[in-house]
Amino acid sequence: MNCLYGLLPLKVRKKTVSLVLAGILVLLQASSLSGQTLLVAAASSMRDALEEAAAEFEKVSGHKTNFSFGSSGLLAHEIEDGVPYDLYIAAGANFIQELYHRRLLVQGTSNVICRGRLVIIVRKDSSRKIDSLRDITNFSLIVIANPQHAPYGKAAQEALQNAGLWIGLQNRILYTERVADILELVETGRAPVGIGAQSLRASAQVEYVPVEDKLYTPPETYIAMVKGTLHKEEARAFIAFLASDKGRAILKEYGFSTP
């Protein structure tokens, strides 16, 4: 398995979580000064949509929001290890269910807010053009998010398996920690092609080719309140905003479908 970041050993992960906790404390101190109250752990596929939604949410509510974007699985580990988030936004039901099982989320606050889509990401100046997923076999290196902790990586694996391509491509696949890393690698020319999330806004250097819907199960994004939050009112307000007409319109603008 080629792995750019991969799963961290327990000792390394603990050190990483300690650094995250230190960063969160800095954010909390800044929040108390600037009025920023919500601390949200969110799947990186939601980055662009959530940043726009948070700006609109602040206009209507006065509440500011800080995000920590990452893979849904690794963010779940951070919550398990005590990082004091207020909300958890995950691109996959299994991570939400596991945290509920561990009694780390507030019961009755989980909602599906949207469903995402897979796209093939390729540079426009590539000599190899892509019309369908099968054309990805013309590339020597293919980047996807790690299926073990990134739902979009799991969906990419499912699509390749259903297309009959997965086994033959094993030696060409490079795994990233976050789905957002795929776009960056292709944009900068460090990788020729990847399979990622339609929701991330790309530069003019790359183009998106949709993966056939029948090949994979669209990742569903869930939101839930983290147990122990000191900002329940603000957290509920942000959940309600994402479910409002304005919130749904923003999500649709970034290629999500909403229930």
pLDDT, residue 37, reads 82
pLDDT over 50 (residue 118): yes
pLDDT over 70 (residue 27): no
User: Structural domains in the chain?
Assistant: 7-115+219-253 (3.40.190.10), 118-215 (3.40.190.10)
Q: Where are the beta strands (DSSP E) in the chain?
A: 2-3, 36-43, 64-70, 87-90, 111-115, 118-123, 142-145, 173-176, 193-197, 206-210, 220-225
Distance CA 89, CA 221 (A): 7
Distance CA 240, CA 109 (A): 11
Distance CA 49, CA 205 (A): 21
pLDDT, residue 9, reads 41
Q: Kindly tell me the burial class for residue 184, based on how many C-beta atoms sit within 10 Å of its own C-beta (0-12, 13-18, 19 or more).
A: middle
* Contact (CB, 8 A) for 235 and 86: yes
Between these two residues, 233 and 34, which has the higher pLDDT value? Answer: 233
| Amino acid in position 47 | R
Rounded to two decimals, the pTM is: 0.83
pLDDT over 80 (residue 25): no
- 200 C-beta neighbours (distance < 10 Å), count: 24
- Length of the chain equals 259
pLDDT confidence band for 2 (50 / 70 / 90)? low
pLDDT confidence band for 17 (50 / 70 / 90)? very low
pLDDT confidence band for 259 (50 / 70 / 90)? confident
pLDDT, residue 100, reads 95
pLDDT, residue 92, reads 87
pLDDT, residue 5, reads 40
